[in-house]
Amino acid sequence: MESLIKLLNQGIKDYNIATKGYQTAEQQKYLMNLGGKRVRPLLALMSCEMFGKDPAAALPAALAVEVFHNFSLVHDDIMDQAPMRRGKETVHQKWNSATAILTGDVMLVNAYQLLQQLDSDVCKSAMELFSTAAVQVCDGQMLDMGFENKSHVSIQEYLDMITLKTAVLLGCSLKLGAIVAQAPPTFANHLYHFGVKLGISFQLQDDILDVYAKGDAFGKQIGGDILSNKKTFLLISALENATGEEKKLLDFWLRHPNPDPAEKVEIITSLYNKLGIHQQAKTMMENYYTDAMDLLAAVEVSTDAKKPLYSLAGKLLHREN
List of residues 6+ apart from 190 with CB closer than 8 A: 295, 296, 298, 299
The ranges assigned to domains in the chain are 2-317
Written as one string, the DSSP assignment of 143-169 is HHHHHTT-S---HHHHHHHHIIIIIHH
pLDDT band at residue 216 under the 50/70/90 scheme: low
Output the pLDDT for position 316. 84
186 phi and psi angles, rounded to 5 deg? -60, -45
CB 29 within 8 A of CB 158: no
Neighbours of 269 (CB within 10 A): 18
Contact yes or no for 164/140 (Cβ under 8 A):
yes
In 3D space, the residue among 213, 212, 170 whose CA is nearest the CA of residue 191 turns out to be 170
Q: What is the pLDDT of residue 201?
A: 96
Number of Cβ within 10 Å of residue 224's Cβ equals 18
Residues in the chain: 321
Residue 88 has φ and ψ, to the nearest 5°, of -125, 165
The mean pLDDT value of the chain amounts to 94
Whole-number percent of the chain with pLDDT over 90 = 87
What pLDDT digit, counting tens, does each position of 90-141 carry?
999 999 999 999 999 999 999 999 999 999 999 999 999 999 999 999 999 9
Helix, strand, or coil here: 233? helix
Kindly report the backbone phi and psi dihedral angles of residue 86, in degrees, each rounded to the nearest multiple of 5, phi listed first. 55, 35
Q: At what angle do helices 97-115 and 59-80 cross, to 10 degrees?
A: 160
The whole-number pLDDT of residue 190 equals 98
116 close to 123: Cβ distance less than 8 angstroms: yes
CATH of the structural domain 2-317, one choice from 1.10.600.10, 3.10.310.30, 3.40.630.30, 1.10.10.60: 1.10.600.10
Task: Check if the beta carbon of residue 58 is closer than 8 Å to that of residue 180.
Answer: yes
Bridge partner list, 85: 88
CB distance 236 to 162 below 8 Å: no
pLDDT of residue 215 exceeding 80, the answer is no
What pLDDT is recorded for position 220? 56
Long-range contacts formed by 314-317: CB under 8 A, 24+ apart? 316/37, 316/39, 316/198, 316/201, 316/202, 316/205, 317/201, 317/205, 317/285, 317/286, 317/289
pLDDT of residue 315: 87
> CA Rg, the chain, in Å?
20
CB-CB contact of 51 with 183 (8 Å)? yes
**Helix residue ranges, H only, the chain:** 2-18, 25-32, 39-50, 59-80, 91-94, 97-115, 120-147, 155-162, 168-180, 185-212, 215-218, 224-227, 233-241, 244-255, 261-275, 277-297, 303-317
* Range in 107-111, 128-132, 149-153, 217-221 with the lowest mean pLDDT: 217-221
Give the model's pLDDT for residue 1.
83
